[in-house]
Copies of this chain bind each other. A is one copy, B any other.
Amino acid sequence: MNILDGKKVSNDIKNEIAEIVTKMKAKGEKVPHLAAVLVGENGASLTYVNSKVKSCERIGFDSTLVKLDADITEEKLLAEIEKLNTNDAIDGFIVQLPLPKHIDEQKILLAVNPDKDVDGFHPTNFGKMALDMPSFIPATPFGIIELLERYKVETSGKHCVVIGRSHIVGRPMSILMSRKGFPGDATVTLTHSRTQNLEAITKEADIVISALGVPNFLKANMVKEGAVIIDVGITRVTDSEAPRGYRIVGDVDYNEVAPKSSYITPVPGGVGPMTIAMLLKNTLLARSRHNQA
């Protein structure tokens, strides 16, 4: 059993990017600039956004946090996005989800300039990904691909079962794993809430990618010996003994499943830390594309 160490790899990536940024600075080039839009005061969102801004600082990116009131109108939010779209200083930006209920999330995501959409959530980037064109790939799936690549996990011809068809993980993951090339070329089965006999399907899988959000859902009897296990679940479970009052628990019953697996991502320290690293990678990519344009 080998651990796919997302914490280590994400640090490696951040260090690699920091080195590139140092060289950019030495040459007098503009460094990448990421902006994050945060609407309201949702605790988890604030934590995520702050962590993204901090990562930017650490690796030498410029960053801007646009904090907006929870009761901002859709119209005004669209105007803020248009400012970021047209501000040449900003290479890429994200709109932290979820948004307050009075705002149409889809409308907001469609308003983001696809060339600055470092979250890869805009349909134009999503479509390019599905059609094998260069694009911004959503950070979590991109992080999983990067882990598989760096650990040289064989994927060609393997049967990969993805659990969950969300727009930000399951769906893009199923597309990426079945694209041509490495990591990819897998035979992919996308499963979801309507799937029958899920256990029989996961048991056949060479690679299981679980993005369900149900703690400890995947048990040892649901996977075959030697399978690669990718756990995207990050559910907060109350734990009075934990310093923050909760623990992060994955979809995979790690203690049971790990001994049977060939490779496995722990939670925390697996897929989670990769997400920010890939967001930074997308921002660097946005910067270099703008340089070329």
A123 neighbours in B (Cβ, 8 Å): 123-128, 130-131, 133, 135
**Alpha-carbon distance A102/B284, docked complex (angstroms):** 33
**Could you tell me if A190 and B187 are in contact, using CB atoms closer than 8 angstroms?**
yes
A223 CB to closest chain B CB (Å) equals: 17
User: Quick one: CB contact mask for A197-209 with B, threshold 8 Å, 1 for yes?
Assistant: 0000100000000
**Could you tell me if B191 and A187 are in contact, using CB atoms closer than 8 angstroms?**
yes
How many residues from A make CB contacts under 8 Å with B? 37
A10 CB to closest chain B CB (Å) equals: 27
CB of A165 closer than 8 Å to a CB of B: yes
Q: How many copies does the complex hold?
A: 2
Minimal Cβ-Cβ distance residue in B for A171: B130
**Alpha-carbon distance A127/B127, docked complex (angstroms):** 4
Q: Which A residues between 147 and 200 are near B, CB-CB below 8 angstroms?
A: 156-157, 159, 165, 167, 171, 174-175, 178-180, 185-192, 194-196
**Alpha-carbon distance A128/B127, docked complex (angstroms):** 7
A130 neighbours in B (Cβ, 8 Å): 123, 126-127, 130, 167, 171, 175
CB of A106 closer than 8 Å to a CB of B: yes
**Alpha-carbon distance A157/B198, docked complex (angstroms):** 10
**Could you tell me if B157 and A178 are in contact, using CB atoms closer than 8 angstroms?**
no
CB of A122 closer than 8 Å to a CB of B: yes
Q: A123-B128, A165-B180, A174-B174 are in contact. List 14 more A-B contacts (CB 8 A).
A: A122-B127, A123-B125, A123-B133, A123-B135, A124-B124, A126-B126, A131-B167, A174-B190, A178-B190, A178-B192, A185-B192, A187-B189, A187-B191, A189-B189
| 9 sampled A-B residue pairs with Cβ under 8 A | A123-B124, A131-B167, A132-B167, A157-B196, A171-B175, A185-B192, A185-B194, A187-B189, A187-B192
Pairs A-B, 10 closest by C-beta atoms: A123-B127, A127-B127, A126-B127, A189-B189, A185-B194, A187-B195, A123-B128, A124-B124, A157-B196, A157-B194
